[in-house]
Amino acid sequence: MTYSIVPPYLLNRLATADDDRVSRASAAARRSLLVDPPLRHERAHLTASRPTAAGTRVADSRVNRTIFDAQGQETLPGVTVRRETDAATDDIAVTEAFDGLGATHALFLDVFGRSSIDDRGLPLLATVHYGDEYDNAFWEGSRMVFGDGDGEVFNRFTASLSVIGHELAHGVTQYTSALEYEGQSGALNESISDVFGALVEQYDRGQMAGEASWLIGEGLFTPAVSGRALRNMLEPGTAYDDDVLGRDPQPARMSDYVDTEDDNGGVHLNSGIPNRAFAVAATTLGGPAWNGVGLVWYDAIRGDISPRATFAEFADLTIASAAARFGDGSPEHVAVEDAWQTVGVTTHE
């Protein structure tokens, strides 16, 4: 299974659009939707053959990046175009991917003491220029893959640092909680990637929680789209409202939870609920989100979490993690507890 940044419901909407203004984008969306099934098979093979992260951590925690160029094809990995010690190229997608991998590695190492995705110094790999105007980016179990977008609705997918952080965070989840990608556990999987994608961007920019945008995928849409990003963590359901793409359908409260069989049980939809809980807790506390609520979420995914965890179970884990790290009744503990109540996952006792 691939973990893609653009939800299938959005690509489906674009693929069926009968509008001359987005005819190129519509065709690109149809091609992009056809790419997924063979990649799911390939990722299943990669996951089955890869050793687990158990064992001794590597002593060298320095970042080790390699960027490949698929040259418009759908064959991975592509041609090697930049290694860790190579000079920068004049290809902006290569530069953005290289820098984005580095920014993600820096957050996890500097803040969480984690040596790469697997905590054992895993080399970070990325392929750019994948497919023909491919409208997505994804983590397929061993590498990041970026499309160039169609130019009408989507720009190149290396342009958003939160997207790069989001997709690499799927790898962190893969090596920690291994949350199953379906229903509430799948929505938590997506939400955790949004959380760390936002933190990568905020840490790289030195932004405090109160000044951050909390947008995931800002810069992906062209100016023709009435929207700012794919998702808004602080205000789910407000990221875009476009006459072609429709309105952002993410719910912000548990009372609006979407019960569906589409999108693996609504993993991209319902992730808005835990997303908002994190953003509300972080903005309530203020300061750098990575040093407060970010540490709580990281502790939770590394703790005693079930691969089929529900929102309520994860809320309990984060509340307990906040108390364990910062103290019972601490501002962090109270903020996390109140945030889950704000989104309706937990209630006052």
pLDDT at 2: 76
Q: Which of 133, 268, 332, 333 is catalytic?
A: 268
pLDDT at 61: 87
Q: Check if CATH label 3.10.170.10 holds for domain 3-175.
A: yes
- Residue 48: pLDDT over 50: no
pLDDT at 38: 44
- The Cα–Cα gap between 38 and 82 comes to 27
- The Cα–Cα gap between 214 and 336 comes to 17
pLDDT at 54: 38
With cut-offs at 50, 70 and 90, classify the pLDDT of residue 69: very high
> Is residue 167 annotated as a catalytic residue, yes or no?
yes
- Residue 73: pLDDT over 60: yes
pLDDT at 36: 56
% of the chain residues with pLDDT over 90: 88
Quote the pTM value.
Answer: 0.93
Q: Which of 167, 190, 332, 337 is catalytic?
A: 167
pLDDT (average), residues 93-103: 98
pLDDT at 225: 96
- Residue 52: pLDDT over 50: no
The class that CATH gives domain 183-342 is mainly alpha
Mean pLDDT, the chain, whole residue set: 92
Residue ranges per structural domain of the chain: 3-175, 183-342
- Residue 45: pLDDT over 50: no
pLDDT in tens, 108-160: 999 999 999 999 999 999 999 999 999 999 998 999 999 999 999 999 999 99
> Is residue 84 annotated as a catalytic residue, yes or no?
no
User: 141 near 174, Cβ under 8 Å?
Assistant: yes
pLDDT in tens, 158-176: 999 999 999 999 999 999 9
pLDDT at 49: 32
With cut-offs at 50, 70 and 90, classify the pLDDT of residue 35: confident
pLDDT in tens, 268-313: 999 999 999 999 999 999 999 999 999 999 999 999 999 999 999 9
Taking the CA atoms of the chain, what radius of gyration do you get in angstroms?
19
